[in-house]
Amino acid sequence: MADSGKKKWYVVRAIGGQENKVKTYIENEVARLGLSDYVDQVLVPTEKVIQIRNGKKINKEKVYFPGYIMIEADLVGELPHVIKSVTGVIGFLGEVKGGDPVPLRKSEVNRMLGKVDELAIQNENVVIPYILGETVKVVDGPFNGFDGTIEKINEEKRKLEVMVKIFGRKTPLELSYMQVEKIS
């Protein structure tokens, strides 16, 4: 390997629901064995979601790719074996049985880290599919199944503010275009 000094991103499959725990285990194990120089970062890609509990907005981090952890590392020597033997780790993504873990391509890394919003680029010239005052159905998230009225449209972020009636009270929700659909 000519470029052994360059770290690449790999995806480790972990038991779903335990991503953060497994991330900590990996970090601790790498540090314990003095291999920290070879591992730059261990990441659980998350997105911030706002949940409403008892009328209060709570910011929560939701794991974006359940069961996957990203590792930026130079997988030398024992390191792949060390990572695979961590509790909760199922293995590397893209590895052939007994073969080497396959690094992610740059475009995949950017997409997973959200640096390049490919959707935004593709939809640059797309007309906004919704209009103010239109009634839409929420198809994703905690309010799945509710109908609401579009109050605001934020083109840049591709978000809508939808007023939804919850228990007889109107509640504004910020949703992405993908989280709602037109009621035909």
What CATH number is associated with residue 137? 2.30.30.30
Tens digits of residue pLDDT in 91-136:
998 756 667 788 988 888 877 776 544 444 444 445 567 889 999 9
- Kindly state the tokens that stand for 173: 């929700």
Q: Predicted confidence band at 82 (pLDDT cuts at 50, 70, 90)?
A: very high
Reported pTM = 0.56
Q: Are residues 108 and 162 in the same domain?
A: no
Helix H or strand E encompassing 60: strand 56-63
Q: How many domains does the chain have?
A: 2
Would residue 2 count as lying in a domain? Answer: no
In one-letter notation, the amino acid at residue 13 is R
| Residues facing 61 on adjacent strands | 48
Q: Are residues 110 and 66 in the same domain?
A: yes
Which residue in the block uniquely carries the two structure tokens 């880290």? 113
- Kindly state the tokens that stand for 42: 């261990």
Tens digits of residue pLDDT in 6-63:
899 999 999 988 999 999 999 999 999 999 999 999 998 877 777 777 778 777 777 8
Q: Are residues 148 and 74 in the same domain?
A: no
Q: Are residues 133 and 176 in the same domain?
A: yes
In the chain, the largest separation of any two C-alpha atoms, in whole Å, equals 65
Q: Report the C-alpha gap between 100 and 88 in whole angstroms.
A: 20
Q: Are residues 105 and 148 in the same domain?
A: no
Q: Are residues 19 and 93 in the same domain?
A: yes
Q: Are residues 87 and 27 in the same domain?
A: yes
Q: Are residues 51 and 95 in the same domain?
A: yes
Residue 173: domain span? 126-182
Would residue 22 count as lying in a domain? Answer: yes
Q: Are residues 112 and 130 in the same domain?
A: no
Would residue 121 count as lying in a domain? Answer: no
Q: Point out the least confidently predicted range of 10-19, 81-90, 107-116, 150-159.
A: 107-116
Q: Report the C-alpha gap between 106 and 102 in whole angstroms.
A: 12
